[in-house]
Amino acid sequence: MSFRIEKDTMGEVKVPSDKYWGAQTERSRNNFKIGPSGSMPLDIVYGFAYLKKAAAFANHELGVLSEEKRDLIAKVCDEILNRQHDSQFPLVIWQTGSGTQSNMNVNEVIANRAHEIAGNTIGEGEKTIQPNDDVNKSQSSNDTFPTGMHIAAYKKVVETTIPGVTQLRETLHKKAQEFAEVVKIGRTHLMDATPLTLGQEFSGYVSQLDHGLNALKNTLDHLSELALGGTAVGTGLNTPKGYDVLVAKYIAEFTELPFKTAKNKFEALASHDAIVESHGALKQLAVSLNKIANDIRMMASGPRSGIGEIIIPANEPGSSIMPGKVNPTQCEALTMVCAQVMGNDVAITVGGTQGHYELNVFKPVMAANILQSAELLGDACVSFDINCAAGIEPNHETIKTLLNNSLMLVTALNTKIGYYKAAEIANTAHKNGTTLKEEAINLGYVTSDEYDAWVKPEDMVGSLK
Name the binding residues for substrate. 98-100, 140-142, 188, 320, 325-327
From the candidates 2, 37, 189, 305, which is the catalytic residue? 189
SS (H, E, C) the chain: CCEEEEEECCEEEEEECCCCCCHHHHHHHHHCCCCCCCECCHHHHHHHHHHHHHHHHHHHHCCCCCHHHHHHHHHHHHHHHCCCCHHHCCCECCCCCCCHHHHHHHHHHHHHHHHHHCCCCCCCCCCCCCHHHHHCCCCCHHHHHHHHHHHHHHHHHHHHHHHHHHHHHHHHHHHHHHCCCCEEEEEECCEEEEEEEHHHHHHHHHHHHHHHHHHHHHCHHHHCEECCCCCCCCCCCCCCCCHHHHHHHHHHHHHCCCCEECCCHHHHHHCCHHHHHHHHHHHHHHHHHHHHHHHHHHHCCCCCCCCCCEECCCCCCCCCCCCCCCCCHHHHHHHHHHHHHHHHHHHHHHHHCCEECCEECCHHHHHHHHHHHHHHHHHHHHHHHHHCHHHCEECHHHHHHHHHHCHHHHHHHHHHHCHHHHHHHHHHHHHHCCCHHHHHHHCCCCCHHHHHHHCCHHHCCCCCC
319 catalytic residue (yes or no)? yes
Nearest to 152 by CA among 51, 229, 78, 233: 51
- Cα 39 from chain centroid? 19
Task: Please list, in sequence order, all residues whose beta carbon lies within 8 angstroms of the beta carbon of residue 99, skipping any fewer than 6 positions away.
Answer: 44, 141, 144, 145, 148, 363, 364, 367
From the candidates 17, 66, 87, 319, which is the catalytic residue? 319
Asked if 165 and 285 count as a contact pair (C-beta separation under 8 A), the reply is yes
* Single-letter amino acid, residue 270: A
What CA–CA distance (Å, rounded) separates 432 from 429? 5
189 catalytic residue (yes or no)? yes
Would you list which residues are annotated within the binding site? 98-100, 140-142, 188, 320, 325-327
CB atoms within 10 A of CB 132: 15
Asked if 170 and 390 count as a contact pair (C-beta separation under 8 A), the reply is no
Positive or negative torsion for Cα 297, 300, 305, 307: positive
Please list the active-site residues: 189, 319
